[in-house]
Amino acid sequence: MDEIDGRGVLYPARLPTFHREPAPRALAGLVRWFWIPEWHLAPGRSSRQEVLAFPASNLTVEQAQVTLTGPTTRRSHRDLHGRGWAVGALLRPAGIASLGIDPRSIRDRESAFDAPGLIHDVTAAMTITDAAARRTRAAAEYAAWIADRLDPPDADGDLANAMEDVIATDRSVIRVEDVARRLGLSVRGVQRLAQRYVGVPPLAMIRRYRLQEAAQALREDPDVTIGQVAAELGYADQAHLCSDFRAVLGFTPSTYRRGAAPGDGSETPSG
């Protein structure tokens, strides 16, 4: 996996080929990055990909369809079979607004999105033999489609993106009041911004990023304790981190750490 951001993927050891391509600078206000998995599994085998997704929406191209996936409130998964690929765009808050979609209406939902030209151009790029070249071309074709169809962020969109940046990058942000102070807004103003441009409350955004960081620390550093992770991420104590873990992921941090150990099986029999 490319070293853009290691958060989100819960079990990297199970991944097929997976890359992230940065969005062009001109589109940085609309797309965070493009993500491209490719897989080729033996007959009768499957690979379950479990994700604690970023608090955002994704627009994803596959061989015959484009799907729009809204922000999620729990971990999600997909079982891969056979041979395939996907090219997804992780949308910024201003990006989903530019599509004319209310993200609250697609929370925890996936729906078809009509974009035949995007399917054609990305699919053609993914037929290129050289792996690096096809990923680069697919991301470039996707970027060209976005540049042609989506308006750049307005002032409110820029503010929503700034809210996302603050929450995503500053571990000291643990309360909505922290975000409001950084942006010079009221708490109510931050809440309205998050609901309109992301589709979930700002506190849910904060907790999602902190849980992603907790999961990353637990799987990558075998020496760090759960209590240390909780303290570093601003939790009142270990019990609060464990409670959040169970509520969103469905299991405890210690259970997750055992399952995410390197060498965890990447394929299982299907059926």
Q: Identify the CATH number of the domain in which residue 187 sits.
A: 1.10.10.60
Single pTM value for the model: 0.90
d(C-alpha 68, C-alpha 63), whole Å: 15
Q: Rounded to whole angstroms, what are the CA distances from 264 to 12, 225, 270?
A: 9, 21, 17
Percent of the chain with pLDDT over 90: 79
Residue 261: band (very low, low, confident or very high) from pLDDT cuts 50, 70, 90: low
Q: Which residue has the tokens 């997909």?
A: 78
**How would you class 93 by CB atoms within 10 Å of its CB: exposed for 0-12, middle for 13-18, buried for 19 or more?**
buried
pLDDT above 60: residue 2: no
Domain boundary among the residues 149, 173, 193 is at 149
174-181: average pLDDT: 96
Asked whether the beta carbons of 213 and 4 are under 8 A apart, the reply is: no
Name the residue with higher pLDDT: 261 or 251. Answer: 251
Q: What is the pLDDT of residue 5?
A: 64
Question: Which residues pair with residue 89 across a beta bridge?
Answer: 34, 59
- Whether 94 and 171 map to the same domain: the answer is no
pLDDT above 70: residue 270: no
Residue 47: band (very low, low, confident or very high) from pLDDT cuts 50, 70, 90: confident
Domain boundary among the residues 149, 180, 202 is at 149
Q: Rounded to whole angstroms, what are the CA distances from 17 to 4, 86, 91, 196, 268?
A: 15, 11, 22, 34, 17
Report the amino acid identity of residue 126: M
- Whether 82 and 17 map to the same domain: the answer is yes
d(C-alpha 65, C-alpha 242), whole Å: 38
Q: Has residue 116 been placed in a domain?
A: yes
d(C-alpha 60, C-alpha 81), whole Å: 18
* Domain total in the chain: 2
Angle at 27 between CA 64 and CA 30, to 5 degrees: 70
pLDDT above 90: residue 159: yes
Question: Which residues pair with residue 91 across a beta bridge?
Answer: 31
Name the residue with higher pLDDT: 142 or 51. Answer: 142
pLDDT above 60: residue 71: yes
- Whether 120 and 180 map to the same domain: the answer is no
- Whether 71 and 91 map to the same domain: the answer is yes
d(C-alpha 157, C-alpha 163), whole Å: 10
Q: Has residue 264 been placed in a domain?
A: no
Q: Which helix (H) or strand (E) holds 188?
A: helix 187-197
Q: Has residue 270 been placed in a domain?
A: no
What are 239-255's pLDDT values in tens digits?
999 999 999 999 999 99
Residue 115: band (very low, low, confident or very high) from pLDDT cuts 50, 70, 90: very high
Most confident of 45-54, 140-149, 213-222: 140-149
Domain boundary among the residues 149, 182, 206 is at 149
Q: What is the residue range of 226's domain?
A: 155-259
- Would strands 76-81 and 45-51 be described as parallel, antiparallel, or unpaired? antiparallel
d(C-alpha 135, C-alpha 125), whole Å: 8
Q: What is the pLDDT of residue 260?
A: 78
